[in-house]
Structure 1
Amino acid sequence: MVDWVRHAIAWHVYPLGFAGAEVENDRAAPVAHRLLRLENYLDYAVELGASALALGPIFQSATHGYDTLDYFTIDRRLGDDDDFDRLVREAHARGLKVILDGVFNHVGRDHPFFREVIDRGPHADKASWFRLTWPHGWEPGTVPQYADFEGHDQLVALNHDEPAVADYVGSVMDYWLARGADGWRLDAAYAVPPAFWTKILPGLCQKHPNAFIFGEVIHGDYPAIVKESGFDSLTQYELWKALWSALNDRNFFELAWALKRNDALLDDFVPVTFLGNHDVTRIASKLSDERHLPHAVVLLFTLPGTPVVYYGDEQAFRGIKEDRIGGDDAIRPAFPDSPGELSDLGAPIFRLHQELIGLRRRHAWLHGAHVSVHHLENEALVYESAAEGEKLLIALNLQDAPARLPVPAARERLAGEAMLEGEGEERVAVVPAHRFAVFGC
């Protein structure tokens, strides 16, 4: 694991949405320097407590950023090379690492490499870069059958068995790391054979030893994928699902099972943890009881992992993902020009994030902490996060009445609300209805 990641709290931004870019990319239009709007929020990210800026797609694409047209060019709706260099320089000046989104499972249907294949046919230089079935009697301009990404015909899957594809992807990753990026999120990594990355990552990481590289993996054998690919980490979707589901169902037994599963991962890697991202309904909308949003936040920052906060979640933004054209718009909104224009309605959750991120930063060992459940009911939970000879106790109450929860090792309350009573093995925390508390031990 790269050293800086142990202390990392990332603020994740979807730039095309954040900056209010056009849905369609008119490549004949002049460059719009919207990346510069992110500069207005770098101090905001630092004030939040973040130490890294994770960017969604910023490379030339046809629409939403995941239909890439040119991996070596900044999307004209966002800016140009100078804008990127400036953003990285300003982020680094504030101590913020910059992580890029690499979409290397597929390209946009209008990518020049695929257009060349359509124009020149089976003998095109890049024909082996895609998984194609050619019609009998092919003629120029005839589109062959091609593998796509999950049924989206505008996303043409790459052939990851082609050595030239690995060389190309490696050159893209190297180029932007050399230009100042500090890491990569690898989009749809679950759809790419893990062995593909072994052709790229060893040499890349030798050249850029401080780069953090993690894959987007939704399901599967997480430890095996890490081992077979060489990733530093993976996205922990299993824990994400258990977290909101347990809170909604008031069933901490589900969460306890997920915590046990998550704890086992630490023998192999530390996962990337989150409450939201550009692909899922926002946590404030996902939870059926808004009183339990703080519980989700405290879980994120007291459990092991590399926490990522999706822009707007720190302000309790609402947004529901829908399976339709434009169904992602609500979860990828534009931000105002400056933080001062954000509504005051989000201030309480922002302050809670600050408080808990501050706690996390003061207890950096939480990154790789092991978790054990001390007390478990449907609507009440006490768990311990411990590492390096230190530990915290976290008590959660989803009940409509105060809960008396055993916390025998608790010395002082560090966050949340609760009264400590008794001593030694008789020590209990009286946690108010629908509240939480974090205790130092």
Structure 2
Amino acid sequence: MHWSDHAIWWHVYPLGFTGAERRALPPGAPPVPRLSRLEGWLDYLIDLGCNGLALGPVFASETHGYDTVDHFRVDPRLGTEQDLLRLIERASERGVRVLLDGVFNHVGRGFPAFADVAAHGPRSRYASWFRPAPGGGYETFEGHHRLVALDHDEPEVADYVTEVMTHWLERGVSGWRLDAAYAVPPRFWRTVTGRVRARFPGAWLMGEVIHGDYAAYVTDGGLDSVTQYELWKAIWSSLNDRNLFELAWALKRHNTLLETFAPYTFVGNHDVTRIASRLDDPRHLEHALVILCTVGGIPAIYSGDEQAFRGIKEEREGGDDAIRPAFPDDPAELSGQGRPHYRLHQDLIGFRRRHPWLVRARTTVTALTNTVLVYMAAEGDEGVAVALNAADDPAEADLSAGPWRHAAGPGRIEGNRVSLPAAGWAIATRDR
């Protein structure tokens, strides 16, 4: 079993988390060692039940981190390479693995190779790294002028990406999140991942895939996992609409993905409205977390979601600010309002840790209405039953063949029967 099968990630967007400036520091300005602040949160993520720190962009960029200008240099707003290496070392001492965010589909306009192309055009040594756009200029990522797309048919681009990834794996990171992986041809990823694994066979490589053939990025691209946006959408949408048929359908699709790989599962990240703001009924926060912790996959908690932070993403400049807030220097400074939700995270993550086989578990729906869903998550001889009631009234349902015993949640289990309070839930394990 690969180490990633035991991973539960705590996802941090460092520039926002540490309160860094919105734009790059002026040339010559001294680095600000903000990454060191994250060292004080390592015990917090462990107490939560996580054992991985998934970092958002940490490399030199022009603004938000996804307009990288130097993949070999830590953004001075966050500190120096030594600050990052010390964080990796402190995490390793606690058994916490670190994941880096690699932006290899596009670069910022200040990226030296592109700056040379902008100055010298087709005479530039790097002209083949970028594609000219119809009507002039160069192709960009989804129309964002500041994000210039790399040409992934150019062998030197694959050489460069391989060099970046192995450079930081040599320095102690355990893997990579590959930003906008869906915009890059799988054949490019196959080239890069093959080279990287030749040197670092234990590295975990996960791609951000929003749409497209998820499994193909694993089978054809050589990635280990991709983001499970289909399940993310089904969780909050089905709860808001009180249409659990949508979730049941998504779980079928999730099962097919599990035949190939363990997806990266989540209910929040740095790019989407906070789950506490996305859900119409705050009681459904518990349901979302129950699903995340009981279905197959490699789960991640976006920092702040465990405290029920709120924040709405807006489609405008600065529209991500509300979902990427600054955190206090010390976890003790957090408001106590989020403590009950934090405790629920601890309980449910603890349940998952006691049932590590859930990473590959398939789900079978055994009872389904618009507002009641019962499913069994099983792998081999192991199994748990999960019952959700999204209605404002109590509900009852049958579980699959048992007998079962109550493991978590406000619902009651009697034999093969579950009684659920309004907006309630229950998890049951086999009564052996």
| Range into which the TM-score falls when normalised by the shorter chain | over 0.9
Corresponding residue for residue 302 of structure 2: 310
Q: In 2, are the aligned partners of 1:109 and 1:154 still within 8 Å (CA)?
A: yes
Look up the SS of the partner of 1:346 in the other structure.
Answer: helix
Q: Which amino acid aligns with 2:239?
A: L
Aligned pairs for 1:83-98 (under 5 A) are: 83-98=83-98
Aligned pairs for 1:95-174 (under 5 A) are: 95-133=95-133, 144-174=136-166
Corresponding residue for residue 43 of structure 1: 43
Corresponding residue for residue 413 of structure 1: 406
Aligned-residue offset at 1:164 = 0.2
Q: Which amino acid aligns with 1:171?
A: E
For residue 381 of structure 2, the aligned residue among 386, 389, 394 is 389
Q: In 1, are the aligned partners of 2:215 and 2:260 still within 8 Å (CA)?
A: yes
Please say if 1:432 is aligned against 2:421. yes
CA distance in 1 between partners of 2:25 and 2:216 (Å): 42
Aligned-residue offset at 1:214 = 0.8
Q: In 1, are the aligned partners of 2:413 and 2:428 still within 8 Å (CA)?
A: no
Q: In 2, are the aligned partners of 1:177 and 1:208 still within 8 Å (CA)?
A: yes
Please say if 1:73 is aligned against 2:84. no
CA distance in 2 between partners of 1:284 and 1:354 (Å): 17
Corresponding residue for residue 223 of structure 1: 215
CA distance in 2 between partners of 1:429 and 1:118 (Å): 66
Aligned pairs for 1:156-305 (under 5 A) are: 156-305=148-297
CA distance in 2 between partners of 1:191 and 1:4 (Å): 28
Aligned-residue offset at 1:414 = 1.1
Aligned-residue offset at 1:411 = 2.4
Cα distance 1:37–1:410, how it changes in 2: closer, same or farther (>3 A)? farther
CA distance in 2 between partners of 1:311 and 1:345 (Å): 15
Identity %: 57
Please say if 1:404 is aligned against 2:393. no
CA distance in 2 between partners of 1:292 and 1:182 (Å): 34
**In angstroms, what is the RMSD of aligned CA positions?**
1.1
Q: In 2, are the aligned partners of 1:232 and 1:269 still within 8 Å (CA)?
A: yes
Cα distance 1:410–1:327, how it changes in 2: closer, same or farther (>3 A)? farther
Look up the SS of the partner of 2:426 in the other structure.
Answer: strand
Aligned-residue offset at 1:134 = 9.1
CA distance in 2 between partners of 1:158 and 1:316 (Å): 38
Q: In 2, are the aligned partners of 1:116 and 1:124 still within 8 Å (CA)?
A: yes
Q: In 2, are the aligned partners of 1:223 and 1:265 still within 8 Å (CA)?
A: yes
Corresponding residue for residue 5 of structure 1: 4
Cα distance 1:134–1:235, how it changes in 2: closer, same or farther (>3 A)? closer
Q: In 1, are the aligned partners of 2:412 and 2:426 still within 8 Å (CA)?
A: no
TM-score when normalising by structure 2:
0.97
Aligned-residue offset at 1:161 = 0.3
Corresponding residue for residue 340 of structure 2: 348
CA distance in 1 between partners of 2:217 and 2:81 (Å): 34
TM-score when normalising by structure 1:
0.96
CA distance in 1 between partners of 2:281 and 2:204 (Å): 36
Q: In 2, are the aligned partners of 1:314 and 1:353 still within 8 Å (CA)?
A: yes
Cα distance 1:184–1:279, how it changes in 2: closer, same or farther (>3 A)? same
Q: In 1, are the aligned partners of 2:128 and 2:151 still within 8 Å (CA)?
A: yes
Cα distance 1:363–1:99, how it changes in 2: closer, same or farther (>3 A)? same
* Structure 1: segments with no counterpart, 5+ residues: 136-143
CA distance in 2 between partners of 1:341 and 1:414 (Å): 32
The structure 1 segments of at least 4 consecutive aligned residues displaced by more than 4 Å after TM superposition are: none
Q: In 2, are the aligned partners of 1:410 and 1:439 still within 8 Å (CA)?
A: no
Deviation digits for residues 334-390 of structure 1 (CA, Å, limit 9, x no counterpart): 000100000001001100000000000000000000100000010001100001311
Deviation digits for residues 173-220 of structure 1 (CA, Å, limit 9, x no counterpart): 000000010000000001001100111111211211111001100011
Q: In 2, are the aligned partners of 1:304 and 1:367 still within 8 Å (CA)?
A: yes
